[in-house]
Amino acid sequence: MKLIAASAHSTGAEGLDLGFSQKVIELANTEDPRALDLAGVARIDLNFPKFTDGRAYSQAFLLRRRLGFTGELRATGDVLIDQLVQMERTGFDVAVLRADQNIDFAQRQFDRFRGFYQGDAVTVKPHFAREGEAA
């Protein structure tokens, strides 16, 4: 998962990458992602208004597993270090850390939790079903 400091995050309805316009959607956590037209969408920003509000986790899971969205899912808002592993498991690619969060400490979270028995939005098969497969 890519981590971005709050000061380095740019918002907007259109992003520019290598001269090609890419569609970016900022989705409020009260909206249903199933109602979106995902054609041409490169990035969806999902907002955590408070760290205790987990609706964006459900939106990310729906976008990845049910809607097959393969673009970037970015967590924005009140994003804390403790949430990062679960964000990655529900389908987020990028997290914009709250201004008071240390990006170096955040990266260490992924070293603490290297593998999981259960499947998730990214790795669907549980551990026992993956045995013997190439990593």
Domain CATH number, residue 68: 3.20.20
- Would residue 86 count as lying in a domain? yes
Q: Strands 94-97 and 2-5, how do they pair?
A: parallel
- Would residue 24 count as lying in a domain? yes
| Of residues 118 and 54, more confidently modeled | 54
Number of structural domains, the chain?
1
pLDDT the model gives residue 18: 42
pLDDT the model gives residue 19: 45
Note down the domain range covering 103.
2-130
pLDDT the model gives residue 128: 64
Paired tokens of 42: 């490169």
Distance in Å from the first CA to the final CA of the chain: 18
Asked whether residue 14 carries a pLDDT value surpassing 50, the answer given is no
| Of residues 47 and 110, more confidently modeled | 47
pLDDT the model gives residue 15: 44
pLDDT the model gives residue 72: 95
- Would residue 105 count as lying in a domain? yes
From CA 108, how far away is CA 87, in angstroms rounded? 15
- Would residue 135 count as lying in a domain? no
